[in-house]
Structure 1
């Protein structure tokens, strides 16, 4: 937990209030969020399907990242009726769908300027 009066916390608050870019980056920052958004956009709408596609992610991290994306209204959880145990489907909101081409552009930028590092994010949308 951050101390709210620390200079780091105050600087973060200042940046969020004065630049929407910082708020936007905060919503999508995290090692897996972009890949999760793309996976759901590609049709992997269940936890197990996203986990299968992103096999290196732990279930705990996937769960936390999904909750954060839901908090930022990038995706929603939809209960699947008549399933035991209760099934959940994930769907991108209009905000999440609007994010996909932005992530693709960032991926293209990364491919060009990643200094020899191979980028696997959002290839061939």
Structure 2
């Protein structure tokens, strides 16, 4: 993941678009291929890290961890750690995350309609 320098024109343009256009703001939060895929799998309920990894076999553990942290920071995903040995950690969508369900369904319909094989 490339980090944009905060002094760059690209960064300032992105900040301005995010501030002025709520659609850009929303797409910046759920826009990545992994982010949206994680949300799609969590719509059906809680999953552990290993279960998410099995759903997304091409994602690295590092990338999955980074994406889950980003989703937590944006209050889309909630991480619950259970006091067990070994520790059990589950991820689930928050109420805000579940509000994405109709949007994700519409994206699926759009994809089915416009997918070129």
Q: What is the TM-score normalised by the length of structure 1?
A: 0.83
Aligned residues: 115
Q: Which deviations, in whole Å up to 9, do the C-alpha atoms of 1:17-69 show, x marking residues without a partner?
A: 10111110000011111221121222351001111122222111111111111
Q: What is the TM-score normalised by the length of structure 2?
A: 0.89
Deviating above 3 A after TM superposition, structure 1's stretches of 4 or more consecutive aligned residues are: none
Rounded to whole Å, the distance in 1 between the matches of 2:52 and 2:46 is 6
What is the RMSD of the two structures over their aligned residues, measured on CA atoms? 1.4
Q: Give the corresponding residue for 2:78.
A: 76
Q: Give the 5 Å matches for 1:1-125.
A: 1-81=3-83, 83-114=84-115, 116-117=116-117
Q: CA 1:5–1:37 in 2, change beyond 3 Å: closer, same or farther?
A: same
- Any unmatched runs of 5+ in structure 2? none
Query: What is the SS of the residue equivalent to 2:100?
Result: helix
- Any unmatched runs of 5+ in structure 1? 118-125
Query: What is the SS of the residue equivalent to 2:92?
Result: strand
